[in-house]
Amino acid sequence: MALAEAGARGRLLRWPRVVLFGDSITEYSFQENGWGTYLAERLVRKCDVVNRGISGYNTRWAKLILPRLISESTGADNIVAVTIFFGANDSALKELNPKQHVPLEEYAANLKGMVQYLKSVDITTDRIILITPPPLQESAWEKECLAKGDKLNRCNATTGQYAQACVRVAAECGTDVLDLWTLMQKNQDFSSYLSDGLHLSTKGNSFLAAQLWSRLENRLSALPSLLPYWRDVDHTNPEASLL
């Protein structure tokens, strides 16, 4: 059978998509042992896990580009989950990092606006998960700043205010939320979860992956595998199995 004929006979295969939208912590999630890689491995042949992390971005910039990443015309209907993971840059101290800093109230409004936009393209709230920024290990991040000739430009208490705002927005909008800031500090020293005081270590990636998977597993693991297992293909008449 010619390829064109096979294509005409078969239905177009459209993989459902999980979209990870965030800053560098999302961008780096496809590195070795990253939390995005963990999700992709568990959802192979069920979903495409799409990395839309943009290093250094805050919610002010993110809300502008979200409609360019997800729209009705780009197949929003086959998105089964979206994570929105911002705050590590928004919470930078204004006087020391004015370019990335976003005021707390604006940060909350931006998150709410992004959720409302996703709803407007028919991505329901049960498919949206907000993730708070992780805690900041100040001494380790200060070393990173000093190495670049800068002063410590973030503090954990301020990051916590942004995390709390993220949790409030989720409650107001009816979405799920992963409060990473609180969970990582619960009865433990959280420094091992971070590679440089701000970004996730291998342990931090594993922690986030496990927490996120616990929220996604029920809704996504039941999705069928796309295309039959190879032993189930009728080798005498593969068209009957594959088209």
Is residue 77 annotated as a catalytic residue, yes or no? no
CA distance linking residue 45 with residue 223, whole number of Å: 10
3-state SS, residue 65: helix
Is residue 24 annotated as a catalytic residue, yes or no? yes
Is residue 101 annotated as a catalytic residue, yes or no? no
β-strand 128-131 against 48-53: which pairing, if any? Answer: unpaired
Question: Pick the catalytic residue: 23, 91, 101, 199?
Answer: 199
CA distance linking residue 162 with residue 156, whole number of Å: 10
154-159 own/partner pairs: CB under 8 Å, 24+ apart? 154/88, 154/91, 154/92, 154/93, 154/97, 154/198, 155/93, 158/91, 158/93, 159/87, 159/88, 159/91, 159/133, 159/134, 159/135
Fill in the DSSP letter of residue 200. Answer: B
Question: Pick the catalytic residue: 122, 150, 196, 234?
Answer: 196
Q: What positions carry a catalytic annotation? A: 24, 196, 199
